[in-house]
Chains A and B, each alone.
Chain A
Amino acid sequence: MAERTLAVASAHGLHARPAALFVKAVTDSGLVVELQKGERKINAASILGVVSLGIEHGDDVTLRVEGEGADAVLESLAGFLEKDHDA
């Protein structure tokens, strides 16, 4: 399992459009991805789950990826979250 904690860069957090793009990237990877903010962990393939975390700009979140090629997928998803998609 690959895991990383990072701060979300999008100016308006992980809402609406950036959330949809993120979930799309997760489902395209075909791997099981978990996203955690504080105590709450959700399936990152669920857009309702992702938006329910209410992630704001600068919030620390933890990504966990399981399966073959987990490291590369983690790298790419972390890169996504560390970029400002509202810019």
Chain B
Amino acid sequence: MNSGLETRGSVIRGVGIGRATTVGPVLRMPEPVADPVDVPSEREAAEEFARATASLTATAAQLRERGEKAGGTAAEVLDALAMMAEDPALAADVQHRTQDGATAEFAIHAAMATFRDMLVGMGGYLGERAGDLDDVARRAIAHLQGRPAPGIPQSATPFVLVARDLAPADTATLDLDLVLALVTTDGGPTSHTAILAREKGITAVVGAAEAEGLRDGDLVLVDAENGTVELDPPQERIDLALQRTATLEAIRAQSSGPGRLADGRAVPLLANIGSVDSAREAAARGAEGVGLFRTEVLFLGAETAPSVADQAATYREVFAQFPGQKVVVRVLDAGADKPLAFLTDSGEENPALGRRGLRALAAHENVLRDQLTALAQAANDSDALVQVMAPMVSTAAEAQYFRDLAHELGIAVAGVMVEVPSCAIMADHVARNADFMSIGTNDLTQYVFAADRLLGTVAAFQNPWHPAVLRLIEIVGTAGAKHDAPVGICGEAAADPLLAVVLVGLGATSLSMSSSAIADVRAELALHTLDDARRLAALAVSAESAEAARRAVLDAPTTRP
């Protein structure tokens, strides 16, 4: 295959997720198929219709073939999709449109859209499956244009998947046994791809724009620790990388028990969870408790808030996984990308800066009271050490409001999340009104840089290594120590082993992360004393950029195994 990148051994840079290194052949995710435009056909109507029929037949065959490979329920679903591609009513509509002068592409697109809109109008289960019709149409259009079918590429052997970014729907159909590594050209450390990679422990480099030049079959070495993708690496480089990965795995396998520094100082390693299932997984992976229990996941899609009894039942199941351990529950964080019908004002121009988090709860205090009451009941029935925290706190007064309400309703330990820069800057006052502080690095970074964390075009800003973020964390760490308020970290930053050391150096007293990252973070912390961590933190804080901060810490002596 021809490569778009010329030189052997050329290095592409991005943001690495995890620490491992993997070597393998590239398979590219096909470019999304753009909706065809309605231009008059230059062919005879009969010829256009024949093209359309041929592509729909081929699409049906493709879908059936995939179904036969997948078997089970997937086979049934794919067979139903194949029937849609071959549907006589669809064919009649397509024929009608080609007779009116449409191209095969547009006729299929428009005919399928008619049926999709009808299904959407019917709502319920069928409405939810309406997207399947778009998928069938895109496959047929890709076939007409002689392009590969959209979606995760099919392969019998393991590969390095190169994509723009993965959508949640793509990740659902990803066969993790075949994916050696993920490389994306767009998206930052909080993109869906990065979150998936962290959760599943897949080697990934995200936001590597030059990976655009990689072609199917190119051999690449993906080095997550250094955030690089090397094309056609020399053999000695491959050997060295695999050896280092083996060393890391050995360290990881040996590390167990509670998180601690080389000098024995404890740094509890907690898990971020959103469901009873993830609570079980976290407990199995040796989490020392939960640092962030996202309760809004239980409420998504609900028209009204669940009853106190229903909420308490779910909370009990989660708490039961962590007897004698800390579980920090974040009360409902509705708004922005997670709207809830009963809390969120619709029609805000700028929901990320709107009435979200604690602001929304304070405006609907009955919802907050019910949730705290349910949490207090469930906590009473369990052996877990339950604490609560409020999202999107901006002022010391808000911290005080939340703590007073939690204490009134029977929860003894109530803290705040530090995500809004004003809260970090005023941390010495906030600390006096909160039993603890927990820094949400994802939102803190988004607000410090005024850059939407879900928007690909500004993803480069979303890097918690940036000294602008680290300096705010340092303010919070210092305030916490002065006022005896524990300082936790519960953003993706805590899952980056080296950054975790820096965060401890800045004053973090516990770290909460996807449970899959715990083993790596535990292994890294064990290599550093608190003095060492403080020294590394000082290097990072005084750097000029995120890259310079990371480089300074990576290059500092005595920090690498």
Chain A: residues with CB nearer than 8 A to chain B? 12, 15-17, 19-20, 23-24, 42-43, 45-49, 51-52, 54
Contact = CB atoms under 8 A, between A and B. Distances in A.
15 contacts: A16-B80, A17-B76, A17-B80, A43-B88, A45-B88, A46-B87, A47-B84, A47-B87, A48-B84, A48-B87, A48-B89, A49-B87, A52-B118, A52-B122, A54-B126
A84 to B, nearest CB: 16
A42 B118 CA distance: 15
Given A16-B126, A46-B89, A51 B79 contact: no
Contacts of B80: 16-17, 19-20, 47
A15 B87 CA distance: 16
Contacts of A43: 88-89
A16 B90 CA distance: 17
Given A20-B76, A20-B80, A12 B118 contact: no
User: Of B80, B84, B115, which is in contact with the most chain A CB atoms at under 10 Å from its CB?
Assistant: B80
B129 interface: yes
A48 B79 contact: no
Interface in B111-135: 115, 118-119, 122, 125-126, 129
Given A17-B80, A20-B80, A12 B89 contact: no
A52 B80 CA distance: 15
Interface string B81-103: 00110011110000000000000
A2 B205 CA distance: 64
B49 to A, nearest CB: 17
User: Of B89, B115, B118, B125, which is in contact with the most chain A CB atoms at under 10 Å from its CB?
Assistant: B89
A49 B530 CA distance: 69
A3 to B, nearest CB: 21
Interface residues of B, number: 16
A51 B2 CA distance: 47
A42 B89 CA distance: 9
B115 A52 contact: yes
User: Of A15, A20, A42, which is in contact with the most chain B CB atoms at under 10 Å from its CB?
Assistant: A20
A20 B129 contact: no
B83 A47 contact: yes
A16 B125 contact: yes
B511 to A, nearest CB: 45
Given A23-B83, A51-B126, A46 B118 contact: no
A16 B129 CA distance: 9
Given A23-B83, A51-B126, 7 more contacts: A16-B80, A20-B83, A43-B89, A47-B87, A48-B84, A52-B115, A52-B122
Nearest to A27: B83
Contacts of B76: 17, 20
A24 to B, nearest CB: 7
A54 to B, nearest CB: 5
Contacts of B87: 46-49
Given A12-B125, A15-B125, A52-B115, A20 B79 contact: yes
A35 B115 CA distance: 18
Contact of B90 (A24, A42, A48): A48
Contacts of B126: 15-16, 51, 54
Contacts of A52: 115, 118-119, 122
Contacts of A54: 122, 126
A12 B129 CA distance: 15
Contacts of B89: 42-43, 46, 48-49
Given A17-B80, A20-B79, A24-B83, A48 B115 contact: yes
A49 B83 CA distance: 12
Nearest to A42: B89
Nearest to B79: A20
Contacts of A24: 83
Contacts of B118: 52
A32 B89 CA distance: 14
Nearest to A23: B83
A38 to B, nearest CB: 15
Interface in B60-94: 76, 79-80, 83-84, 87-90
Contacts of A17: 76, 80
A8 to B, nearest CB: 15
Contacts of B90: 46, 48
Contacts of A47: 80, 83-84, 87
Contacts of A19: 80
Contacts of B119: 51-52
B312 to A, nearest CB: 32
Contacts of A51: 119, 126
A45 B87 CA distance: 8
User: Of A20, A46, A48, A52, which is in contact with the most chain B CB atoms at under 10 Å from its CB?
Assistant: A48
